[in-house]
Amino acid sequence: MSSKLHGLVWEACAFKGLIISEIAVMARLADFSNDEGVSWPAVTTIQRQIGAKSENTVRSAIKKLQAKGWLKKQERRVGGKNNSNVYKLNVDMLERAAAEAKIFYATPREQSKFDASAFEGSKFEGSNSDASNNGSVSPQILREDPSMVEGDPSLDPSLDPSSKKPSCRAPAEPDDKPDPEVVITDNAIEVLAHLNLVSGSRYQKSKTSLEKHSRPPPRRSYR
């Protein structure tokens, strides 16, 4: 029994569209085969073990598998007597189909694990790609002499970010900070008003000094 071929059969055959009777025959032949895919079970044995209705069902499935290239059959005769046929599974075809199935059913994260070297290198050569089609730069342009490229920022020291010093600005004064002169003037006006109140004078604010407007003191009545 080849566990390798058995796994390939279940992975590949259904993906390639084989019907259940063909898959069952392939799986049973893989159970009897060595790693090269060679086995010689009797048709009656296959029919009994896969639960086919008749031997004709097995023979029909084997004939279709031959036509599709999944196996080869060789008849044996010993002393004029028919013996069981020799079957050889197409291992290369199974491996290719199983690999396609894994990629098809893999999640995007699992697909990223596949090595691109498993594919033909000609499909990934940038020399045949057109930059106008995929927006990529042609590798030939990238291999040109850097001295032929104009406007290289590394040749202009004025464009070096390290040569630019950040400018420091003094923090702006808050807009709502009161003017000291206004505060002093307001305080003086309050003192002046209090002085006029307690002394009976009439001092008024002036640009240079306090101006006094005297008034006759209130008359006192004597009884």
Looking at residue 138, what DSSP letter applies? P
Whole-number Cα distances in Å, 48 to 12, 25, 140: 24, 11, 65
Cα(83)–Cα(41) distance, rounded to whole angstroms?
10
CA pair distance 37, 4, nearest whole angstrom = 10
- Report CA 126 to chain centroid distance, whole Å: 23
- Cα 49 to Cα 46: distance, rounded to the nearest angstrom: 5
pLDDT of residue 63 exceeding 80: yes
Closest of 217, 191, 213 to residue 202, by C-alpha: 213
* Res 136: pLDDT: 43
How far is it, in rounded angstroms, from Cα 6 to Cα 62? 17
pLDDT per residue as tens digits for the range 191-210:
778 777 877 777 676 655 55
Span 125-166, pLDDT tens digits = 444 444 444 444 444 444 444 444 455 545 555 555 555 555
Quote the pTM value: 0.48
At residue 171, the pLDDT reads 58
Residue 30 has pLDDT above 60, yes or no: yes
- Per-residue pLDDT at 83 exceeds 50: yes
Mean pLDDT over the full length of the chain: 72
Domains and CATH numbers, the chain: 3-94 (1.10.10.10), 180-212 (no CATH)
Per-residue pLDDT for 65 more than 60?
Answer: yes
Residue 62 and residue 52: Cα distance in Å, rounded?
A: 13
Give yes or no for a contact between 137 and 131, defined as CB atoms under 8 angstroms apart: yes
What pLDDT is recorded for position 165?
55
pLDDT > 90? residue 188: no
Count Cβ atoms below 10 Å from residue 208 Cβ, excluding itself.
5
Residue 6: which pLDDT band, with cuts at 50, 70 and 90? Answer: confident
Cross-strand bridge partners of residue 88:
38, 72
Structure tokens at 138: 């042609």
DSSP 80: T
Cβ–Cβ < 8 Å for 58, 50:
yes
Single-letter amino acid code for the residue at 53: K
Query: Which pLDDT value is given to residue 54?
Result: 93
45-80 burial, b for 16+ CB within 10 Å, e for fewer?
ebbeebebeeeebbeebbeebeeeebbeeeeeeeee
